[in-house]
Structure 1
Amino acid sequence: MLLQRVITAVALLLVLLPAMVYAGPLPFAAVTGVLMGAAGWEWSRLNGCGPKGALVSGLGLMGVLGLAWGAWGDAPWPAMVWWGITALWAAVLVLALRQGVEAWGRWPVVLRLPFGWLALAGAWWALVNLHARGLGVLLSALLLVWVADIAAYFGGKAFGRRKLAPRISPGKSWEGVVSGTLAVLVLAFAWTAVAAVWAPATQALYPILVARGWVVAIPALLLLTAASVAGDLFESLVKRSAGVKDSSALLPGHGGVLDRVDALLPVLPAVMALLADAA
């Protein structure tokens, strides 16, 4: 299993890294658009679509993203749009996580399916906008989620006693959440310290937030970390409602695309909202 995970991760990096560092925006937009289309197929399968319907949904989402790119490229959205997506995410996360696994299947399909498509489209547009702002901005946003997840895993393994949401994700603990939050704050402090002596590092999420004062930066980082944890829990809830362990088997050893991007989906629009306000 470990070898399989490593092979899949290396294969993904071989595709993503060249697209990320390429001077033009199109390769990154295309690669991430395909991934979001695959996630759209997974989301539709998890929420009641049959094989053909899910395939049409995934291809349809990919096509819509392609049309959007053709019409607007990576043109930025106003801050109010990003805040609107963030507010929608907050409402859905609070309602779904409070109601629990059993209630999710009772939500009308006409609400569940479009919400997932909108969430994936918003995350994709945030990705291409972050990429347009610079590699440092993009990586700093992605690192927030990755560092929070890794630290939460190891912190939970070492210190986990109190379960965070045992009926949704029995392995997650409050101690893991605290570990992930502390790791994000350490990352922000370290990145900002490097930015103070190395100018290229200033073009990233953390220095931009800190420029508005730590009294703004720390609450913002706490909210982003909470969104990361909630996004991960939310996908676990949807999978439990569907009775599956992974969103698909597209990524051997890792599950599906949704399993890899779940925590990013609510975080990326919130990052864009914060950066748009800081502009």
Structure 2
Amino acid sequence: MLLQRVITALVLVALLLPALLAESLLPFAALTLLMIGAAGWEWGRLNGLRMPGAVAMGAAIALTCGLAWLAGWAVAAPAAVWWLAVAGWLLGGALGLRAGPAAWPHAPRVARLALGWLMLSVAWLAIAAAKQRGLGFILSAFCIVWAADIAAYFGGKRFGRRKLAPSISPGKSWEGVWSGMVGVGLLAWGWISLEAVWPAIGPSVFAVMLRQAGAFGLMLGIVALCGLSVVGDLMESLAKRAAGAKDSSGLLPGHGGVLDRIDALLPVLPAVMAFAGA
């Protein structure tokens, strides 16, 4: 299993890194469009669609994103799109997590599929728009989720006492969430310090938020982004638990599916674009 994880991770890095470093948006947009279509296929399967329907779901999401790209939204989507996405995640996340896995299959399937279509399409728009803001910006956006996840894991193992959502993800604790926030706060401080001596990397999410909202606004933004990353993770766990699935698919050997790798990014990316004043 460990060897599989390492090999898969190396292949993903080999594909993503050149696309990230390319000046043109095209390679990165095309690669992530393929991934978001695969995630749509996984979401359809988790919500009861058989193979033809799940494939159509993924294709519909990829087509939606492609049309938005042609319309110029991958470069400059209206700011209202990001804020509506944040509001939708807060409201939908609160309702879904409160209802729990038992209630999820009883929600109308069309509503669950539409939710997946919207959240994946907007996330792709956000990732394409973040790429346009520069390498430092998009890497720091990714690192928010990675740092929160790593810090939450170790903080939860060391200090975890109070369960966050035992019916959805028994391993998560409130102490882990707080540890994740501390981890991202340290990352922000370190990244901003790095930019001061190495400006070539380009402005990060943290520097843009600091400039837009000041130090206090940056701290509030970090808390909000970490909270949203937890909501994204839990919502995917909710759908998997309701479907009786351990992973969203087996597309990424050793890692599960695409959704398993991007679940926390789905709400964070639109929020980053909203908070950065895009």
TM-score, normalized by length of structure 1?
A: 0.96
Give % identity: 55
Contact 1:151 1:179 in 2 (8 A): yes
Question: CA–CA distance in 2 between the matches of 1:70 and 1:17?
Answer: 24
Consecutive unaligned residues of structure 2, counting only runs of 5 or more, are none
Superposition deviation, residue 81 in structure 1: 1.7
CA distance in 1: counterparts of 2:210 and 2:192, whole angstroms: 8
- TM-superposed CA distance for 1:78, in Å, is 2.1
Compute the displacement of 1:36 (Å).
Answer: 0.2
Q: Separation in 2 of the partners of 1:199 and 1:250?
A: 38
Counterpart secondary structure, 1:101: coil
The answer as to 2:31 corresponding to 1:31 is yes
Report what 1:71 is aligned to. Answer: 71
1:182-221 C-alpha deviation (Å, 9 max, x unpaired): 0000011111222233333561101111123111111111
Q: Which amino acid aligns with 2:162?
A: R
Stretches of 4+ moved more than 6 A in 1?
none
Partner SS for 1:188: helix
Q: Is the 8 A contact 2:185 2:219 kept in 1?
A: yes
Paired residues, what number? 277
Q: 2:250 maps to which residue?
A: 249
- TM-score normalised to structure 2 length: 0.96
Q: How does 1:161-176 map to 2 (within 5 A)?
A: 161-176=161-176
| TM-superposed deviation, 1:55 | 1.0
Question: What are the Cα deviations for residues 25-81 of structure 1, in whole angstroms up to 9, with x where unaligned?
Answer: 000000000000000000001112111100111122222322332332632112222
Q: Summarize the alignment of residues 47-126 of structure 1 with structure 2, pairs less than 5 Å apart.
A: 47-72=47-72, 74-126=74-126
Gaps of 5+ in 1: none
Residue of structure 1 in register with 2:229 after alignment: 228
Measured against aligned partners, the alpha-carbon deviations of 1:238-271 in whole angstroms (never above 9, x if no partner) come to 1001110000000000000000000000111011
Contact 1:191 1:201 in 2 (8 A): no
Please give the root-mean-square deviation of Cα atoms over the aligned residues, in Å: 1.3
CA distance in 2: counterparts of 1:249 and 1:183, whole angstroms: 30
* Secondary structure at the counterpart of residue 249 of structure 1: coil
Q: SS at 1:105's partner residue? A: helix
Residue aligned with 2:75, SS: coil
Which stretch shows the higher mean deviation, 130-139 or 200-209? Answer: 200-209
Measure, in 1, the Cα distance between the counterparts of 2:68 and 2:98: 34
How far 1:123 sits from its partner (Å)?
0.5
